[in-house]
Structure 1
Amino acid sequence: MAESEFVFTSEQAQLRDAVRKFSAEHFGEAKARIQMESEPRFDRRVWQRLGSELGVLGLSVPESDGGVGGTLVDQAIAVEELGAALATGPLFGTVFLAIPALVAASGGDDRDELLGALVEGTRTAAFAVPDSAGAFDAAAVTVTGSDSLTGAVARVVDADAADELLVAAMGPEGVALYAVDANGPGVHRTPLVTLDLTRPQATIELSDAPARLLAGADEADRVITHALQIGSALLAAEQIGAAQHLLGLSVEYAKSRLQFGRPIGSFQAVKHRLAEGMVDLEHARSATYHAVWALSDGSDDPALATAIAQALSSTAFSRIATDTIQVHGGIGFTWEHQAHLYFKRATTDAALLGSAEAHRDRVARMVLDTAPADRAPRVATG
């Protein structure tokens, strides 16, 4: 693997700075608390500015499809900064899943129009497609139909206020991917009470809801698999961005908080906790950007790379979120402190597109179960 794979360009550094500056103005703890109690739980004007002004909703979308013609690495950098700022908005449904699915689908009037609107931020989407540890599970599709769809999909992230629903449905020729107007006839959404109030979910019930075909049975599996792999990599990028924010918060607190006349960061137990968090984070960051590059240029098996990235990023974010509360002591457990907002995001993210345990199991199946008997993987004995 080329060493240059992990070198960011000066343009990407400028992109990171621009997204960080925008996020400082429009996201963060105070804004998240406001949006948690709002309907919808994000500011549509800010979302549109992310698309039309900053151009970060479709960074990896080709210019021919209305995007800026950047790379998936660019998209991951932007998502990492948005994760650090606890950005509210339908990132998961729109940017992580719907846009990649539309990019992978064949061109057509419905597909082109919807993709352009999502990239510009004038419309939002949710991805109503079942998965098993980030892999498409066609056997779990519960919606049927073609021109109109009937069925229910439970716990769809960002479906509470989405303008469009991308739905996998079993038709006469097999599973296909359709777009459904979320505010159209035959669509009923039941908002759910969620742990992370900044990442809403809803159960969708369709009853002869009019649908537009995006990807037929001949390409739906490829399109959906591509979207889920991109989504897993971008979710990992969001996780490492949020984890980096929390680790920095804990380090600064450990340097300034005094006990027995000494900064608590001078105590070995606190040092070890922070050092182990840094190791976990750097390991997860390397795996995440490797997965992004694997998806971009085929330098590795994308299914394996994204599974590793998700396993490591979910674990790192969850651990660092827990340690942040511990390092901050009594204040870390309070509603007024921001730690619990990130802890809830970490817990929710760790369950989306498969838990860390599920991804480790998936890695084992891909690496160990398929290994030939004469070339079994070597395992360190310690």
Structure 2
Amino acid sequence: MTETPEPTPETPETPDTRDTPAAHLDLLYSEAEEDLRAAVRSLLADRAEPQTVLARIEGEAPYLPGLWGALAGGIGAAGLLVPEKLGGQGASHREAAVVLEELGRAVTPAPYLTSAVVATETLLALGADDGPVAELLGVLAAGEKTAVLAVPLSTAPGADPVTEGPVPAVADAAAADVLLVPRADGLYAVPAAEARIIPQVPLDLTRPLAVVDTTGAVGVRLAGPETGGAAVRRGLLAGAGLLASEQLGLATWCLEETVRHTRERHQFNRPVGSFQALKHRMAQLWLELVGARAAARAAADALATGAPDTELTVAVAQAYCAKVAVHAAEECVQLHGGIGMTWEHPAHLALKRAKSAQTALGSTGRHQDAIAALVDLPAPR
């Protein structure tokens, strides 16, 4: 007689952790994001190819005619962060990050970071569904106007700037229609035509700087000092987080262009890219680029989802991506040899943008200090 085996206890099921905050992190690009990338890249290839940019930066204004209208209004990139009820696309920081990757890749002179990200996020943080804030968001989303936060480009997230008198190094002020001015009694929207804007000579000619003086200009008061200060800090945080994506795009172009050049350039009847020493340098850069992509995507996703560790994720992205962009641009110039040092080759545009962005919205050291404070780790002395 065959004995019936005793039932064995079932193996407990693995807990479903898909609803935990950590599982929400998604570093991959969606199909919609890739479609947006293709549209922006096609537009830039048609209207902002390197020789066109090089020709423009020798003049007074580097901005390419018609480009902002096509990018902001035609593709709808300016309204990606703005809800549909206010006239925007109702997308997120992830999509805006893809646009900045492509703009960084082409080192495009366009006020996207300053207007469509920093200024727009500042206005969104005020939480108004009607009135002057909503009206301004509508025209910004449509690409009809641009706005710039009137603080120095080097201002880091967490800062509480109050502008009184002339403010130096305001990025893209020359292209702004509206200036968002944080004052002691609140945040104001001031028409750029009522301010004194004095151009400065920047390192990066594709991102113009200017001294902005709104003394005597009244403007429209959008919020009080507490609400306005919090909104400015939110705008700076979003700007720093998505600047990492611009740096990622720039570094990606530098590596791809360097690989292409070293395949085509021959010495001793061999491609210079086949030399082991150069292979190692490009392989190291590729590894750094992988890390930069993960850091930049994590920052964009954290901003999009409102993750509780957003400040930390943004600080990590900036502390890492800024260094990678500079290293990639330096290698691009060096591995191109003599041609990389010429004005005709766009490598110098990438290097100047990388060095300028390294101190934009907080220096690397400032972000490292922020990381130490956020994780309660004493900074090195």
2: CA distance, partners of 1:91 / 1:259: 42
What amino acid is the match of 1:183? A
2:25, 2:169 → 1: CA distance? 40
2:204 alignment partner in structure 1: 196
Which residue matches 2:29? 8
Cα pair 1:133 1:359 within 8 Å, conserved: no
Distance 2:27 2:142 in 1: 29
Instruction: Select which of 110, 120, 128 maps to 2:132.
Output: 110
2:224 equivalent in structure 1:
216
Q: Deviations over 1:222-245 (max 9, x none)?
A: 211211111011111111111101
Q: Which AA in structure 2 matches 1:282? A: V
Determine if contact 1:254/1:263 at 8 Å carries over to the other structure.
Answer: yes
8 Å contact kept, 1:92–1:158:
no
| Pair 1:273–1:300, CA change in 2 (3 A) | farther
Give the match for residue 58 of structure 2.
Answer: 37
SS in 2 for 1:202: strand
1:39 CA drift (Å): 4.2
Q: What is the Cα deviation at residue 16 of structure 1? A: 1.2
CA contact (8 A) 2:178 2:191 kept: yes
Residue by residue over 1:44-77, the C-alpha shift from the partner in whole angstroms, topping out at 9 and shown as x without a partner, is 5221121221001121211012111112111111
Structure with greater proportional strand content: 1
Q: 1:258 to 1:43 in 2, by over 3 A?
A: closer
SS at 1:167 equivalent: strand
Answering whether residue 323 of structure 2 is matched by residue 301 of structure 1, we say: no
How far has the Cα of 1:3 moved from its partner? 7.1
Tell me which moved more, 42-51 or 22-31.
42-51
Partner residue of 2:142? 120
Unaligned residue ranges in structure 2 (runs of 5+)? 1-21
Task: Name segments (4+ residues, structure 1) moved above 4 Å.
Answer: 130-133
SS at match of 1:219: helix
SS of equivalent to 1:168: strand
Could you tell me how far apart the structure 1 residues matched to 2:47 and 2:153 are? 32
TM-score by length of 2: 0.89
Deviation for aligned residue 1:369? 3.6
Q: Distance in 2 between matches of 1:44 and 1:334?
A: 26
1:170 deviation in Å? 0.4
Q: 2:375 aligns with which of 353, 367, 374?
A: 367
Deviation of the 1:23 alpha carbon: 1.2
Is 1:179 aligned to residue 189 of structure 2? yes
Deviation of 1:299 (Å): 3.3
Amino acid at match of 1:355: S
1:68 alignment counterpart: 89
Shift in alpha-carbon separation, 1:254–1:158, aligned structure 2, 3 A = same
Distance 1:96 1:51 in 2: 12
1:146-180 CA-to-partner distances (Å, cap 9, x unmatched) read: xxxxx221111111231111111002xxxx21111
Contact 2:154 2:363 survives alignment (8 Å): no
The alignment partner of 1:316 has SS state of: helix
Shift of 1:262: 1.6
Does 2:100 align with 1:92? no
Provide the secondary structure at the position in 1 that maps to 2:193: coil
Provide the rounded CA distance (Å) in 2 between the counterparts of 1:202 and 1:58.
25
Q: Distance in 2 between matches of 1:370 and 1:298?
A: 27
**Do the aligned partners of 1:133 and 1:362 also contact (CA within 8 Å) in 2?**
no
Aligned equivalent of 1:155? 169
1:185-334 to structure 2, matched below 5 A, reads: 187-334=195-342
| Paired residue type of 2:367 | H
Q: CA-atom RMSD, angstroms?
A: 1.9
For residue 13 of structure 1, report the CA deviation from its aligned partner. Answer: 1.5
| 1:164 corresponds to | 178
Is this contact kept in 2: 1:315–1:350, CA < 8 A?
Answer: yes
Deviations 1:65-121 (A, max 9, x none): 211111211111111112111211212320231111111113242212221121222
In 2, Cα distance between the equivalents of 1:321 and 1:158? Answer: 23
C-alpha distance in 2 between matches for 1:305 and 1:240:
15
Letter in 1 for 2:188: Y
Percent identical pairs in the alignment equals 38
In structure 1, runs of 5+ residues without a counterpart are 144-150, 372-382
Larger radius of gyration: 2
Are 2:82 and 1:82 aligned?
A: no
Alignment partners' CA distance in 2, 1:134 and 1:4? 25
Equivalent residue letter for 1:232: A
1:26 alignment counterpart? 47
Alpha-carbon distance between aligned partners in 2 of 1:141 and 1:7, rounded to the nearest angstrom: 39
What TM-score, normalized by structure 1, do the two folds share? 0.89
> Is this contact kept in 2: 1:164–1:182, CA < 8 A?
yes
Stretch moving more, 102-111 or 275-284 = 102-111
Amino acid paired to 2:133? R
Shift of 1:35: 2.5
The CA distance in 2 between the partners of 1:37 and 1:271, in whole Å, is 35
Distance (Å, rounded) in 1 between the aligned partners of 2:56 and 2:223: 34
C-alpha distance in 2 between matches for 1:197 and 1:131: 14
SS, match of residue 68 in structure 2:
helix
SS of residue paired to 2:216? strand
**2:242 and 2:299 in contact (8 A); partners too:** no
C-alpha offsets along residues 180-223 of structure 1, whole Å, 9 cap, x if unaligned?
11102xx2111101111110010112222021122222312321
Alpha-carbon distance in 2 for matches of 1:131, 1:346: 14
